[in-house]
Chain A
Amino acid sequence: MTGRKTRAADFALGVDIGGTFTDVVVLDRATGRLAAGKVLTDYSDLAGAVVAGVRQLLHDRGIAGAGVKNVVHGTTLVTNALIQRSGDATALIVTSGFRDVLEFGRESRYDIYAIDIEIPKPLVPRAMVFEVNERLDSAGRVVEAPDEGRIREIARDLRRRGVAGAAVCFLHAYRNGAHERRVAEIFAREAPEIVLSLSSDVMPDIREFERASTTVANAYVQPAIRGYLDLLAKRLRSIEIEAPLLLMSSDGGTVSTQAAVRHPIRLVESGPAGGAIAASHIGRGHGLDKVMAYDMGGTTAKICLVDDGRPEHTDYFEFGRVDRFVKGSGLPLNVPALDMIEIGAGGGSIARVDAMERLRIGPDSAGASPGPACYGLGGTSPTVTDADLYLGYLAADSFLGGTMLLDYAAAVRAIENDVARPLGLTATRAAWGIHEVVNDNMARAAKIHCLERGKDAREYTLVAYGGAGPVHAEGIARALDIRSVVYPLRAGVMSAFGFLVAPPSFELLRAIVVPLTSLDYAEVNRIVRGLETEGRALVKTAGIATRDCVVRREFGIRFAGQSFQLSVALPNARLSAGDVDGVRAAFLRQYRKRFHRLNPDVPLEVVNCRVIVSGPTRPIRQARKTVAKAHPKKGYREVYLPERSGFARCPVYDRYALTEGTRIRGPAVIEEVESTVLLGTGAVATVARNGNLVVKR
């Protein structure tokens, strides 16, 4: 970095705690240069591992802690606390008569054929749910005032029991939070050490079970996340990083520590959200308006659709699924999140032959330990990685940059024993079968995901990352008739990179449920204004001045009687009768696009108001990739080509030695440290300025 010494240092740090590794990236804002490091995640001391990884990377690059101007962090802490049930003892306070709201759930089975079905246990046992006499009607009008004596009694009782946090969820509190706030006032006097989560604050949406479940989860993880963030800030200061700490949220925005402590449940999917945000950023850089972000790791694959640079959002998420890949088998969280599907398909997914002599892959995974048979760590089941090695898509001596030697013979043994022999096939045919079936599983899930949203997969460009993504993108593109694929550089640290391009933002919602034609504009404008004020205040804690905020206002609208809605942007900050026709037209346009039809005679209903306050996105300068002097072609190896039903000698390239504008025609293999790009016959890859590979098939 000679010749630049005079400018003030401006570095940004992205830190992603994943299941196996903690990834750290540092970005020089002035040059756009990016450097990455990895350390093993230490579950007994998450903050310690973060600081160790940061210190190492800064040291390697000669960067002083004081030069770091902001830190964005994503953590699995919230998810782990929910899955492992390691949160603090939590109580729930509800309207009298509705103690069993968590026990009931939606009274529905996620698997109709399983007699021995297990349903997820609520985070709060029935004995820790307390009732208070109080009642609102569905318009939020008071039917019965809260019994304050009873609230005081509960506060003292919880104090005696040593409860750390409590959730409050009263019926219709999404319309009026006054009764819940009264509980908070009384607790502040009677039991100030108990942290309360109010449903009217956490997620004021209609449907008491989902709201209670979300509020309880928030209360459950709050004490742990607060302790962790305090500790991490202290540790970062110890290496002279005084920059504000921001957290990655599930909806693809970042939030301040203060907002994260109040709404910890919003952090639940931070890592995957970072990856999808990075993919949309990359898509924008290549001028793409439809991107399918595709991440494949060791256990799962994730897919997120990005239209016009904006990843699809959802308000519904589940945690603690009894059956990880079955919708409905977990507990609901109503939090804004990126809309991703998770498929049980990863490098570690196990292949086996079922009772019907069909080849099945996953969803169970050999994980990192014992891992695929070729890891030589004791695994004997054939996995996707074993098949990829057999087929020449991976090489035994260049996996993870050659730092981990793979056992080819073990892979062959596993494939022969568990797949080839039972099906009476050659090992080659079996290995190709594993590769093809896992691709087919992912493609089918992706196609259903598109169909459900009224999208056509063929119109998208695949952006492939994660350790196994670049190996399988070719096959998925083939199965989905996708023509172009982008392979970003640094496929292994995409989430941490995404943290650095995500803008600070906060989304707030309030349910209303009223016909579009009988809106009370004064009331709606008051609600929207209230959400805006709250959102600006929260974004301000992330260091964003009010004048730099962008506010997006939306209505959730549906045909009356339906139970799902579409979001429609409001034309201006203060709504009046003149806006209704425009809002209706926008809804109908979207609805027709998604369902290819309308319900002509059914009136429209507004279900909720949503306000998203965002800070500016700081563009990252695209650094020209520096190139090592090495020759790009490393050699040749035998690679299985399906169109020949056999192996052929294919060139192997060193990705780091490729220069801008280089064109490579498939079949070929292009290796980098964390992954390998498989280029099919006839596909043409072009190296872009930033080092990304753009492939046309």
Chain B
Amino acid sequence: MATARTYDPELLRAEKRRRENMRRLKGLGLHALLIALLFVMLYPVIWMVFSALRPEAEIFGDMGFIPTNWTLENFVRGWQLYGNLTFTQFYINSFIICALAIVGNLLACSMAAYAFARLEFRGKWFLFAIMLGTMMLPIHVQLIPQYIFFLNIGWVNTILPLVVPKFLAHDAFFIFLMVQFMRSLPSELEQAAVVDGASYWQRYWRIILPLSMPALATTAVFTFINTYNDFFSQLIYLTDTDRMTVPVALRLFLDPSGGSSSFGGLFAMVLVSIGPVLGFFLASQRLLTKGIATQGIK
């Protein structure tokens, strides 16, 4: 302390200014670095956007980065690549599966989460441990018998194998997410309802669920993105062309007969296919990043 007093205040202020400038300069350098990295990372996507918007013949040519002849013909051609089957059908198929998956996950996972988070029962911690364990199980150890079973009851080539498991809370991760959230809700509200003679279902449906909106919304968005992007199970279960979803249909571009002849159509459809995911993300950005973040804290 004694030495500090001897400093000249002018000198201190100058030193502080110098440091402030240093910090700002460093900040600027960091910004430049991050933007450069982002540019490299997102360059392929930007390239695809411009490729989809230029005439087929110019895609791989030396025509400059930004198209000179803008066109939407790739979108028109890509959309109806397979005879009378258009992407309209594939999108309808995808969205039906996503919608049902969201309803199933919200309902079944929140019910299980309510029990784990708000009720006392025998075997609670044992079942909770099982729930956590199933999050780590590779799907492969269940896949083959499931497939054989669904084949035998005639569910292959329907959306049922993709949707019914969601109504049985098969995505344990979302149970976990909701348990974490519901645990943090104050118990007073539910107590008041108990005094008023509310049933368990009313406590769950009228009190806990409305308060859990942020967790439910996170679940809905994640379920949409996961289900929409899910390729493996849709590839296995949906084989008829009119049942195909967007990712399974996109895969047909790999066929030498269809794909390689039309890169413009391919890029246009890839672009359209990631649209819904980006849209959902933009609409619920803060919620989503928070949602992922909550996994890590604990």
Q: Do A and B truly interact?
A: no
Q: Please report A residues at the B interface, Cβ cutoff 8 Å.
A: none
